[in-house]
Amino acid sequence: MSRARKPRRPVGIVCAALALQWRAAPVASALTLVLMIGTGSSAAVAGWLSKQAFDELARGAAMDASRALTMGVCAAAMAGCAMAVLNLLEYLGVISHHRITIAVERALFAKALELESLRHFEDPVFLGRLRLAEQGAQDAPQQLVGFVYAAIRTVVSVGSLTIVVFMVSPLMTALLLVAGAVGVVAKSVRGRRLAELGESLIQSYRWRDFYRALLVDGKAAKEIRLFGTGDLLLQRLMSGMATLATREIRASRAGVVLHTGLSLMSAAVTAAGTFVVVRGAARGELTLGDVSLFLAAVAGIQLTFTALVMEIERLGKSIYTFDHYLQFLDQPGRPPAAPAAPALRHGIELRDVWFRYDADGPWVLRGVNLFIPAGATVGLVGVNGAGKSTLLKLLCRFYDPDRGEILWDGRDVRQLDARSIWRRMSATFQDFMTYDLTAAENIGLGDIDHLDDADKIRAAAGLAEIHRDLAKLPAGYGTLLSRIFTHEEPDDAGVALAVPPSALAAKGVSLSGGQWQRVAVARSLMRAQADLVVLDEPSSGLDAEAEANLHRTLHHQSAGRTRVLVSHRLSALRTADVIAVLIDGRIVELGSHDHLMTAGGEYARLFTLQARAYQDVRVAAGEAKGAA
């Protein structure tokens, strides 16, 4: 799945960033370009005006005071205007930054949503590239555009200042340009190396973030304290951070040597030029204005080159990271338009289905053949690791088989639009989500078209027997089911669903495991017209009475619809039309409860073993006595 990266040319990456900038903020971009060109020549103009003022003042009694005053005031005004323009540029930069950020974040996560297979999100290489793409989406576009504008300003500024310096000393002009060029090349190489270092450390960064999050995770906090694993996790975090610090300090050390060498070179050129100019003025070959003009021009060129060099150091990393962003957007996402899945009339068939999560990993499913009739209830039985949950993932089209095919009314699901299949499904997964959102949202997300339908949400909660608990919360269905967030704004667009803003509770609450499971079931019940209902251990966290009530409700609500049910409590499967028993990824038994019990195979063994665990000897004795 992870293809070899083919990097773009740097020029193409920079052009892509520029195009993004102009699409996201065209007016701000145009104004920025104009102002950059204007500020680029301001230093040369101000220097020339200062030279004229100094030369006029040096004439002594013969000077034209009015002209000297005018030139001095104009030079000062140029400096003031330049500062005002910089403030305006900063404001335009803020506008561009936010609009670009919104554009790239939307594109990045829209692409992530287009990826239909869960394989992507279980591949460490892909996750590393995703992290780099996220980094590239945050700052790289602005840095690349900033470099282009800085380069434009540098060309204008250095060009105009070079003319000024050339008028005083052609030799110094050549030396300054050579020194600046050396700095630009050196920084370009260093920027590339820093980018490569960042990519080589990406997995280390991910491990660091993992341990950071784990040490403050609310779910992990209990086990960390009970089993005393905190010190171990902290030690691993510190060890990883020490490794990162060592490599980054080593890279920084090389940067210090480079910076120092460039600074000494620049200082030597400046000192030599100043010596030549001052000596020329002492001999009467140059004027006081020439000296001031030269010093101002040298300072301006050095500052401009320094700014460009700093941009170039960031440029290498920005090009590298933004390339990851562009590569991420280029990968195949949602396939071309495919036919929508029709309403399920006949059934779903698995034909010789083989599947494994990795190309070199063990087979999880091995030649599975199973027909799921439309409107029937099919139970899946097997010990842990038999392949039950994996089979459900393939039914839900989260993965495609490595061999064989899955047919929806005779059509290979790979030929149908995956989203149309998902719209015809409802599911409660074993690892269901607990969203840090309101109670209403946690249920309403099961049917996005009725996200703000309070009556339907309450009806689903009632069927899952969680309505009474949610209604008692501080703000009822408007209560945030979270201990880590609060409602900062009453009209927050992310929370005002199915409940009025005034009903939102500022402080969240935490539900029990069983309550959360009922919320998850209620979420699946929102999609009342689903053709296929997938239930993976929907009652594992419930007590016996609640489990029995839930299965009665699900059986009633799913009447006429196709159900696939996984449960380790085999009593929940007795009413299933068909029960499939999996061992090591193969279906070894198939039939009704009565048929399988009569056959005396694996199902009968598991059912008897589980029933015996529930049977009290006193009950058995009482039954025997009654029979006598």
Lowest mean pLDDT among 9-13, 57-61, 104-108, 486-490: 486-490
pLDDT of 159 strictly over 50: yes
Decide if 460 contacts 525 (C-beta within 8 A): yes
Instruction: Average the pLDDT over each of 6-15, 38-47, 329-338, 456-465 and give the range with the smallest value.
Output: 38-47
Res 207 pLDDT > 90: no
Kindly report the backbone phi and psi dihedral angles of residue 378, in degrees, each rounded to the nearest multiple of 5, phi listed first.
-115, 125
Task: Return the pLDDT at 548.
Answer: 73
Alpha-carbon distance 308 to 306, whole Å?
Answer: 5
Residue 107 confidence (pLDDT) above 60: yes
Least confident among 67-71, 352-356, 390-394: 67-71
Question: Quick check: 417 and 338 in contact, CB under 8 A?
Answer: yes
Cβ atoms of residues 164 and 277 within 8 Å: no
How far is it, in rounded angstroms, from Cα 516 to Cα 511?
6
Question: Model pTM?
Answer: 0.69
What pLDDT is attached to residue 327?
82
Q: What angle do CA 490, 495, 499 make, to 5 degrees?
A: 80
Domain ranges in the chain are 10-203+254-330, 431-529
Would you say the CATH fold of 431-529 matches that of 10-203+254-330?
no
Q: Judging by beta carbons within 10 Å of its beta carbon (0-12, 13-18, 19+), is residue 325 exposed, middle or buried?
A: buried
Residue 491 is predicted with a pLDDT of: 46
Q: What percent of the chain has pLDDT over 70?
A: 73
Residue 431's beta-bridge partner residues?
none
Is the pLDDT at 4 greater than 60? The verdict is no
Strand order in the sheet with 377-381: 425-428, 532-536, 562-566, 377-381, 578-583, 586-591
- Which amino acid is residue 610, in one-letter code? Q
**pLDDT at residue 501, rounded to an integer:** 54
- Tell me the one-letter amino acid at 442: N
Q: Rounded to an integer, what distance in angstroms lies between the CA atom of residue 96 and that of residue 26?
A: 9
Q: What is the dihedral of CA 529, 531, 537, 543, to 10 degrees?
A: 30
Give the pair of three-digit tokens for residue 437.
Answer: 């959102």
CATH superfamily of 10-203+254-330: ABC transporter type 1, transmembrane domain (1.20.1560.10)
String of b and e for 237-263 (b: at least 16 CB within 10 Å)? beebeeeeeeeeeeeeeeeeebbeebe
Give residue 256's pLDDT.
67
Q: From CA 628, how far away is CA 625, in angstroms rounded?
A: 5
- Higher pLDDT residue, 357 or 304? 357
Phi, psi of 21 (to 5 degrees): -60, -45
pLDDT in the model for residue 2:
43
Cβ neighbours of 165 (radius 10 Å):
28
Percent of the chain at pLDDT exceeding 90: 20
491-504 pLDDT tens trace: 444 444 445 554 55
Residue 105 pLDDT > 80: yes
Count of helix runs (H) and strand runs (E) in the chain: 20, 10
List, for residues 229-265, the tens digit of each pLDDT value.
Answer: 778 888 888 888 888 788 777 777 766 666 676 667 7
Residues 6+ away with beta carbon under 8 Å from 93: 32, 142, 146
The answer on pLDDT for 371 being more than 90 is yes
pLDDT at residue 186, rounded to an integer: 58
Element (H, E) at 523: helix 513-525
CA distances from 427 to 112, 378, 437, 477 (A): 22, 14, 20, 22
Helix axes 140-168, 65-114, angle to 10 degrees: 150
DSSP states of 316-368 as a string?
A: HHHHHHHHHHHHHHHS--SPSP-PPPPPPSSEEEEEEEEE-SSTTS--SEEEE
Measured distance CA(67)–CA(56) in Å, rounded: 8
Cα 293 to Cα 141: distance, rounded to the nearest angstrom: 37
SS3 559: coil
What average pLDDT does the chain have?
A: 78
pLDDT value for 384 = 86
pLDDT above 80 for 50: no
Task: Please state, in angstroms and rounded to a whole number, the distance separating the CA atoms of residues 123 and 2.
Answer: 8
231 vs 202, residue with greater confidence = 231
Two structure tokens written together for 231? 């010190």
Amino acid 74: pLDDT: 77
Q: Cβ–Cβ contacts within 10 Å for residue 457, how many?
A: 30
Q: DSSP class of residue 371?
A: E
Supply 611's token pair: 């029933």
Q: What is the SS3 assignment for 485? A: coil
Q: Is the pLDDT confidence value at 436 over 70?
A: yes
pLDDT of residue 195: 59
583's enclosing H/E stretch is strand 578-583
Note the pLDDT tens digit of each residue in 322-368: 887 888 888 776 666 788 899 999 999 999 999 998 888 899 999 99
The CA R_g of the chain, rounded to the nearest whole Å, is: 36
Over residues 90-107, mean pLDDT: 85
Enter the CATH code of domain 431-529.
Answer: 3.40.50.300
pLDDT score of 413: 93
